[in-house]
Amino acid sequence: MSLRGVVLAGGTGSRLRPLTKVTNKHLLPIGHKPMIYYPIEKLTGIGIEEVLIVTGVEHMGDVVGLLGSGREFHCRFTYKVQDEAGGIAQALGLAENFANGDSVAVILGDNVFQADLAAYAGRFVEQGRGARLLLKRVPDPERFGVAEIRDGRVVGIEEKPKAPKSNHAIIGVYFYDSAVFDIIRTLKPSARGELEITDVNNAYVRSGQLGYDVLEGWWTDAGTFESLAKANDLVQKEPPK
């Protein structure tokens, strides 16, 4: 199975203002690197050579100026602009031509974690089709999409539930086959006017083609002041593999 990489690095970064007033949050430093380096290095670390970067209009020039062609990362970058904040699924839909029928490994750009992706990507390849998500047990699952697990299978996913059915958060690392783009075309905007990645994942649940793994090692997002500080602390103490 051929696998291409996608890093979703859009959004307004409103929770990190004023740091994000003049820059994309994914360009903020974590340890000795810009935040966006971490997901890119996770993808290239498993041999992915084609990586799409999706970001917004306002800071695309800064992102391209930082990353260039991909030579520094031993890969080739393609760039796509998400014109408006239309949700993760909308941003992923921009990757269809880039994927060109291949499967994709997708990482939200503010994810920072310790583990190598090789074993998880290998299980997705063995799975053969469908989707595979990485989960993490968290103390505050109501902040995330939450997977309900029964008899070793994900039977449903709720987005930021008030009464979570588990503490297994969907952390923002996804593997999808090419059918994901057909699914995205069927979506309707949610109450907040976005195409939700939770709806994509639940479509795979209904078809019986959603697998999962629980991520080993530490993980954090870096979209708030608290989590950005946590990411800096973790990277210094136990660098990612």
Beta bridge partner(s), residue 149 = 154
pLDDT score, position 1? 58
pLDDT score, position 22? 81
Q: What whole-number distance in Å separates Cα of residue 228 and Cα of residue 45?
A: 23
DSSP 120-185: HHHHHHHH-SSEEEEEEE-S-GGGSEEEEEETTEEEEEEES-SS-S-SEEEEEEEEE-TTHHHHHH
- Report how many domains make up the chain: 1
Task: Enumerate the H helices of 102-141 as residue ranges.
Answer: 118-127
Q: What whole-number distance in Å separates Cα of residue 204 and Cα of residue 209?
A: 5
Q: Evaluate whether 6 touches 92 at the Cβ level (below 8 Å).
A: yes
Render pLDDT for 110-162 as a digit per residue (tens, 0 to 9): 999 999 999 999 999 999 899 999 999 998 888 889 999 999 899 999 988 88
Domain that holds residue 190: 3-237
Please say if the pLDDT value at position 229 is more than 80.
yes
Residues of the chain with pLDDT > 70, as a percent, come to: 99
Render pLDDT for 28-52 as a digit per residue (tens, 0 to 9): 999 999 999 999 999 999 999 999 9
pLDDT score, position 47? 94
Model confidence band, residue 198 (pLDDT cutoffs 50, 70, 90)? very high
For 219, phi then psi, to 5°, come to -150, 145
Render pLDDT for 55-74 as a digit per residue (tens, 0 to 9): 988 889 999 999 999 999 99
Mean of the per-residue pLDDT values of the chain? 92
Mean pLDDT over 10-17 rounds to 76
Rounded to two decimals, the pTM is 0.94
pLDDT score, position 54? 96
Residues of the chain with pLDDT > 90, as a percent, come to: 73
In sequence order, what are the residues at sequence separation of 6 or more whose Cβ sits closer than 8 angstroms to the Cβ of residue 209?
129, 130, 131
Mean pLDDT over 218-241 rounds to 89
pLDDT score, position 140? 87
> For the domain that residue 33 is a member of, what is the CATH number?
3.90.550.10
Q: What whole-number distance in Å separates Cα of residue 23 and Cα of residue 5?
A: 24
Please say if the pLDDT value at position 98 is more than 70.
yes
| Closest by Cα among 169, 157, 45 to 105 | 45
And the tokens for 159? 């987005």
Mean pLDDT over 15-37 rounds to 88
pLDDT score, position 38? 96
pLDDT score, position 240? 87
Q: Evaluate whether 80 touches 106 at the Cβ level (below 8 Å).
A: no
Q: Evaluate whether 176 touches 125 at the Cβ level (below 8 Å).
A: no
Model confidence band, residue 19 (pLDDT cutoffs 50, 70, 90)? confident
